């Protein structure tokens, strides 16, 4: 991109993107199937985020009980869900 290397710190993503680029250059039909997934633990509470990091969003829809630390948050951009965060599951 404009003679600048673009590389993320996520090794799995970089490998999948390189394979996709190589197959595209060979005119092979392939699907980019990488789903970004991040897991962490805050205290004793497990948290899982599915979606691109630093993704823009307009709205957050929360289902569940935030006070008891067991909920799901949907990050919405326009009419599309661009990320899902589960806490306590």
Q: Taking CA 38 as the corner, what is the angle to CA 49 and CA 16, rounded to the nearest 5 degrees?
A: 115
Q: What confidence tens digit (pLDDT) does each residue in 37-49 have?
A: 889 998 999 999 9
pTM of the full predicted structure? 0.65
d(CA 87, CA 76): 17
Which sequence spans correspond to the domains of the chain? 1-34, 36-89
Is 41 in contact with 48 (CB distance < 8 Å)?
no
User: Measuring CA to CA, which residue among 67, 66, 17 is closest to residue 85?
Assistant: 66
- The domain 36-89 belongs to what CATH superfamily? FAD/NAD-linked reductase, C-terminal dimerisation domain (3.30.390.30)
Q: CB–CB of 21/11 below 8 Å? A: no
Q: Residue 29 — very low, low, confident or very high, per pLDDT cuts 50/70/90? A: confident
User: Measuring CA to CA, which residue among 39, 41, 40, 21 is closest to residue 30?
Assistant: 21
């Amino acid at each position: 991109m404009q003679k600048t290397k673009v590389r993320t710190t996520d090794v799995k993503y970089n490998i999948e993107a390189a394979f996709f680029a190589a197959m595209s250059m060979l005119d092979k039909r392939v699907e980019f199937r990488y789903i970004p997934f991040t897991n962490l633990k805050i205290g004793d509470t497990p948290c899982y985020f599915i979606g691109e990091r630093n993704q823009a969003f307009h709205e957050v829809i929360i289902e569940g009980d935030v006070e008891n630390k067991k909920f799901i948050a949907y990050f919405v951009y326009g009419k599309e869900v661009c990320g899902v965060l589960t806490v306590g599951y």
